[in-house]
Structures are given as C-alpha cells and as structure tokens.
Amino acid sequence: MTKARQLASVTLQPGAVRRITGRYPFGHAGDIAAADAGITPGEVVEVRAPGGAVIGRGYFNPEGATPLRMLTWEREAIDLHFFRSRVRAALARRAGRITGTNALRVLHAEADGMPGVVADRFADVLSVQFRNAGAERHRELILRALREETGAAAAFERSDTGERRREGLALRTGVLWGDVPERVTFFEDDLTLHFSPMAAQKTGFFLDQRDNRRLLRSLLSAGEAFLDVYSYTGGFSLHAARAGATPVAIDKDQVALGVLEREARENGLNVGVRWGDALETLAALEREGRVFGAAVLDPPTLAKRKEDVPRAKRIFTEGAERVLRMLQPGGHLLISTCAHYIRVDDLLDAARVAAGEARRDAEVLAITYQPADHPHLLSVPESLYLKSILLRSLS
Ligand SMILES: C[S@@+](CC[C@H](N)C(=O)[O-])C[C@H]1O[C@@H](n2cnc3c(N)ncnc32)[C@H](O)[C@@H]1O
C-alpha cells in the first residue's frame, strides 16, 4: 500500500499546470521542473504545482519517454481499493452497451483511469497487457483487482508490446492464473471464434472492429464477392460469409490465415485466402479481372508518429484506388485506421485522391469511431484511435 505521507514529489513547469490540472494524464520530460532524488521507475508520486500545491498523484518513471502518468486528481491512496474501484467503474460504464458477444475490452488504459493497463475479456478468460513501469510495478494489486472484480476463471499476459521497451521493461508473456486453454473460445453474434493466447497478434482479437463488421455485413447480399484487405483472422470475412457472400481475405500473416481457414471450416463457411503483401495482392486480383460487391481496407497502425502520416496516406490511396477499380457500381468500401495520428480528414483525402485516380464517384455514407468498450475520453485526445469511413461507389 502506498501511504500518502511517504510519497516523493514531482514539480511541474508552470506551463504544464493548466493542462495537467485539466485532466490531461501525460507529463512529458519538458513538463517536469523538478523531481525528488531517488525516485525509481513506476513509483507513485505526489504531483505539485511550482508553489508546492498538490495537483494529484501519478506514476513517475525518470527513464521513460513520458515520465509522468496521472492516476488521480484526488488525495487518495493508490492501493487495492483504488484499483478495484477503477475496474468496477470501467465495468459499470460498459454495462448493457456491448451486446451479442461474450468478448469485450474491460480496461482501455488511460481512458479508464488505469494508465498502461489493457485487459480484454473473452468468455471466462482475460488477456492482460502492462505497458508502462507504473503498471508493471503495481501488477500484483492490479491483477488482484481484475480477478476479484471480473470473476474471470483464467488470465494470461501479452505484455509483448514495443511500448515496454521505451519504458525500460523486458517483454513478458504467460499464464497469470487459472487454466488458460490452448484455444480461447468466444462468440460474436452467430460466429464461434478462437485464438491461440500466445500466437495471436496483440491481445488476441481485434474486438474494436465489432461494430464495423456488423455494419458491412448488413450491407452485403447473398452471392456478392467480398474483399477483406489486411484480414488478420478474418473477422470481417466470416461475418460476410455468414451473410451469404463469398469473401477473399488478404494478409501477410500466414498463421492468421491458417486460423481463418479453420474458423471458416468450423463455422461451416467458405472463405478464400491470399497470403502476401496487400498492395501486391490487390494488383494481382486486378490483373485477374476480379469484381467485388464490397470491401474493407484495415491496415496496421502505419503512423506511430505524426511524421509517418504522409507515407501512410500514400498506402491508403494506393490500396483504395486498386479496390475502387474492382468495386461494382453501388459497392461499399470501408477504410479504417487505428492510428491516433491519422485523422478522418486524412482518410477522406486519401480516398478522394484514390477515387480521382480510379475515375470513380463515391458517396461518403458514414464515418464511424471505436466502440463503447474502447472509450474515447474527452480529456485524452490520444484515446481516439479507430476511425473509419464508409464509401459507396456511384460509378
Ligand atoms: C489491424 S489488423 C487487421 C484486423 C482485421 N481486419 C480484423 O478485423 O481482425 C492489420 C493486419 O494487417 C496485416 N498486415 C500488415 N502489413 C501487411 C501487408 N503489407 N500486407 C498484408 N497484410 C499486412 C497484419 O498481419 C494484420 O493482420
């Protein structure tokens, strides 16, 4: 337990006070005026304004790229009770909002007041990720809070994200408690889905595309060809196949495509797979004269920094241009980005250039954002990451 009077202090620069008292949770190196000597990575500190007034408490990692991560703006102990109440609040916030599935994100890091902790629930199994030194240092309390509040029978860790390296932490994976099955099983609507806890990407499955999968499925007709670009294990393809469409899934991850083929078989569905680079495979499909009724373009992050955005836009443009040329009139294309730095306007720009190059007219039918179990907190702009545009080809 962290006792209030034992906390070390960190003092902010005058220019950072308004931002951080305004509930922005990150303090960068330039925001810190002074820190007590001897603070060790991930320690909870008292955060002070230049005159000494206490602003709140947070994790401090003198060696981290983002040294300060605010936990609270109250004078409260950072203990089991604190973490339990954060998990409880996160569960309450989601109650009744995620339907038709037994899989959801339970903790979405800063957006749930739990810096650096991501936890996804798949039926009775939790997948947990600790991304920074503060979360790592408090892992036992956080895991106890998660276990007691969710009642999950088993949990495993996938703390193998690059962010940990920037915090000076080693990668860490393995069973946390209970009997973790070789294949985690859950359902999304009328599909039974699986992943292998240690071989899957990220925390296992892209739960954040759930609403978009449903949206595209609702637009598909039986017999239509569907193109799933950057498919991973084919969440979009399996929904499309359930609607009677004939999907083609493209990914460079051969293991993921193997999982997709097995999922299709076990759900009694047919999905064609193409292993390879997305843009090259699109070019090949074009040469084959293929035509599709709908498509999704859902690449990996592409822009981890602002400077990466122009390059990312060129990839979106090339992909969208190739897809639009193969889309039948009236066909739908969903373009998604999971990069915070790529804005909706960037997607629209990239799509506009692509449609122009393909000599197609298209209508923007919808702009969508991440679902309710991946909250976008107003005070944390970085918590908005998934943005998608839905186009309908008019010519
Ligand atoms: C955001 S995930 C896609 C999630 C998927 N749409 C779903 O709903 O589960 C991005 C995928 O792109 C794949 N990928 C990354 N670079 C690629 C490339 N150059 N060509 C093909 N696939 C690529 C990754 O293997 C990963 O599966």
Q: 22, 54, 72 — which closes off a domain?
A: 72
Q: Are residues 315 and 234 in the same domain?
A: yes
For 177-223, the pLDDT digits (tens) are 999 999 999 999 999 999 999 988 888 899 999 999 999 999 999 99
Q: Is residue 288 part of a domain?
A: yes
Q: Are residues 133 and 247 in the same domain?
A: no
Q: Is the CB of 251 under 6 A from ligand 1?
A: yes
Is 35 exposed, middle or buried, given 0-12, 13-18 or 19+ CB atoms closer than 10 A? Answer: middle
Token code pair at residue 365: 């039918």
Q: Are residues 110 and 162 in the same domain?
A: yes
Q: Are residues 288 and 376 in the same domain?
A: yes
pLDDT above 50 (res 4)? no
Number of domains, the chain: 3
Q: Is residue 196 part of a domain?
A: no
For 113-163, the pLDDT digits (tens) are 999 999 999 999 999 999 999 999 999 999 999 999 999 999 999 999 988
How far apart are alpha carbons 87 and 58 in whole angstroms?
Answer: 17
Q: Is the CB of 231 under 6 A from ligand 1?
A: yes
Specify which residues 156 forms β-bridges with.
127, 175
Q: Which of 228, 232, 374 to mutate to test the pocket of ligand 1 (most atoms within 8 A of CB)?
A: 232
CA of 125 to the centre of ligand 1 (A): 24
For 366-391, the pLDDT digits (tens) are 999 999 999 999 999 999 999 999 99
Q: Is residue 49 part of a domain?
A: yes
For residue 311, what is the domain's CATH number?
Answer: 3.40.50.150
How far apart are alpha carbons 177 and 352 in whole angstroms?
Answer: 49
How far apart are alpha carbons 335 and 278 in whole angstroms?
Answer: 14
pLDDT band per the 50, 70, 90 thresholds, residue 1: very low
How far apart are alpha carbons 123 and 187 in whole angstroms?
Answer: 8
Residue bearing the CA closest to ligand 1, atom 15: 300
Q: Are residues 127 and 221 in the same domain?
A: no
Q: Which of 230, 255, 279, 340 to mutate to test the pocket of ligand 1 (most atoms within 8 A of CB)?
A: 230
Residue bearing the CA closest to ligand 1, atom 6: 231
pLDDT above 80 (res 5)? no
Q: Are residues 21 and 98 in the same domain?
A: no
- In this prediction the pTM is 0.95
Please check whether residue 294 is in contact with residue 227, taking contact to mean a CB–CB distance below 8 angstroms.
Answer: yes
Which residue is associated with the tokens 């960190």? 10
Domain that holds residue 179: 80-185
pLDDT above 80 (res 22)? yes
Q: Are residues 106 and 253 in the same domain?
A: no
Q: Is the CB of 300 under 6 A from ligand 1?
A: yes
Q: 138, 154, 185 — which closes off a domain?
A: 185
CA of 278 to the centre of ligand 1 (A): 8
Q: Are residues 288 and 332 in the same domain?
A: yes
Give whole-number Cα distances, 98 to 58, 236, 337, 355, 379, in Å.
Answer: 30, 18, 22, 35, 23
Q: Is the CB of 278 under 6 A from ligand 1?
A: yes
Q: Is residue 12 part of a domain?
A: yes
Q: What is the pLDDT of residue 3?
A: 47
CA of 230 to the centre of ligand 1 (A): 4
Q: Are residues 316 and 362 in the same domain?
A: yes
Q: Are residues 215 and 351 in the same domain?
A: yes
Residue bearing the CA closest to ligand 1, atom 25: 253
Q: Are residues 336 and 382 in the same domain?
A: yes
Q: What is the pLDDT of residue 201?
A: 85
Active-site annotation, residues: 338
CA of 297 to the centre of ligand 1 (A): 9
For residue 111, what is the domain's CATH number?
Answer: 3.30.750.80
Q: Are residues 68 and 97 in the same domain?
A: no
Q: 28, 51, 72 — which closes off a domain?
A: 72
Region 287-294: what's the mean pLDDT?
Answer: 98
